[in-house]
Structure formats: structure tokens, C-alpha cells
Chain A
Amino acid sequence: DAGITQSPRHKVTETGTPVTLRCHQTENHRYMYWYRQDPGHGLRLIHYSYGVKDTDKGEVSDGYSVSRSKTEDFLLTLESATSSQTSVYFCAISEPAEKLFFGSGTQLSVL
């Protein structure tokens, strides 16, 4: 998995609770990304980071926030989880203009 670790691998939570997913890389890549994957939609970008404390929104950022306090860690927070956020979440890393490497994913269920 190209030195990318996502945690937890699976999570079940209740509507309205905050949830944080973690992505850790050992590759020292500059860019880090959070995607969600849903049937019929493919992979869609939530947020990305281009450096420590530098982040920007993707196409489906509503209801999500991110933080990157160290090069190797990128956190995704669902401030108040909703059932529409049930999905598989993938973290990815890349160098400029290079291919993305993906983590193994987190299956999140919001009941």
C-alpha cells in the first residue's frame, strides 16, 4: 500500500456523532487527499492538502473538515455524521504531477 495506513479500517457510528479518520504516510509525499467511493459515483475528492497546515476543498467537502499538522498525517473529521456519509473513504498521496497511491480504505457506516 505504498506506505499509507488508514485507521480505523471499519467504523459504525450513530447519526450526529463526530468521527475522525486518520491517514498516515511514510513516503514523505507532498500532497495528501481524501476521497469517498459510492456506487454509481466513482471516487470523489473531499479535501486535499498541499503541505503542513495547507488544505483545500474538493467537490464534496460539505460536512467534512481536515487537518494536517505534520507531513505524515492527514485527518478527516465528520463534524456531525449523517447517513449520507456512509461510504468507503480512501486516503491517497502523491508527488507533483505524479500518480496517486491509495490506502486500503475505511468502511464507515452511519446508523
Chain B
Amino acid sequence: EDKVVQSPLSLVVHEGDTVTLNCSYEVTNFRSLLWYKQEKKAPTFLFMLTSSGIEKKSGRLSSILDKKELFSILNITATQTGDSAIYLCAVDSGYTGTASKLTFGTGTRLQVTL
């Protein structure tokens, strides 16, 4: 059975802090790992990672994948209150030419306080 575990489950930080969110996985077939941000409604896409060691960046957010150790981290620097959300990690174990088969972790709830 495919499994994705995120840690910590929740986190409270002060504005300006740097946070690291963790995602480890065990899947039968690996196609990609995805990070999503979920505020009140739909999860919104952050990153898709397919190769080890290549950092993806978008503003203050960055992510990297380690396929040997089966984990990924999501870093947020200089946090702002607008970063408060649930961050979801998912692994796609679909095969070439097939639909995505995403297994999601239960998420990390981040709260950024003033």
C-alpha cells in the first residue's frame, strides 16, 4: 500500500521565521511528488518534483526531492501571515500514459502569527 507521511502535523511560527516541512513516502512506483497549499477551499499547486537534488523555487518557497532517501522538504523563508494554510504533499505513482494516481499525506497545518 502506498504511503505518504508529513511532519510536523502542525506548526505555529512568528512572522519572519523560516520553516521546513517534511514529506516521506513509500510507493510501488514513483512518477513525481507534488506540493499543494490549501487555505479555505481548493488545494492550489506549488511544485512538482521528479528528479533528486534539483531545487524548485518560487519566491520565498522552495522544495527539493531525495529519491534515494524517499523524502522531500518544503522551505518557506521570511514567513508572512498569508502563508498560514495546510500544506499537502502527494506522490504520483501512475505509470507512463496513465492517469495520475496520487497518494496524499494528511498535511501540515502552518499558522504564522504577528
B41 touches A94 (CB 8 A): no
A68 to B: closest C-beta gap in Å: 12
CA distance A90 to B42 in the complex (A): 8
Question: Beta-carbon contacts of A32-48 to B below 8 Å, as 1s and 0s?
Answer: 01000000111111001
CA distance A50 to B104 in the complex (A): 20
Residue B19 at the A interface, CB < 8 A?
no
A46 to B: closest C-beta gap in Å: 12
Q: Is the interface of A mostly helix, strand, loop or mixed?
A: strand
Which of chain B's residues have a CB closer than 8 A to the CB of A98? 48, 100
Which of chain B's residues have a CB closer than 8 A to the CB of A42? 4, 88, 104-107
Q: A48-B99, A50-B99, A99-B48 are contacts. A105–B42 as well, Cβ < 8 Å?
A: yes
CA distance A110 to B108 in the complex (A): 28
Partner of A45, one of B44, B98, B102: B102
Which of chain A's residues have a CB closer than 8 A to the CB of B88? 42-43
B-side interface size class: 20 to 34
Can you show 28 pairs from A to B with CB atoms below 8 A apart? A31-B100, A41-B106, A42-B104, A42-B106, A42-B107, A43-B43, A43-B88, A43-B102, A44-B104, A45-B102, A48-B99, A90-B42, A96-B98, A96-B99, A97-B31, A97-B100, A98-B48, A98-B100, A99-B34, A99-B48, A100-B100, A100-B102, A101-B45, A102-B36, A102-B44, A104-B42, A105-B41, A105-B42
7 new A-B contacts, CB < 8 A, other than A94-B100, A97-B96, are A42-B88, A96-B97, A98-B48, A99-B34, A100-B102, A102-B43, A104-B42
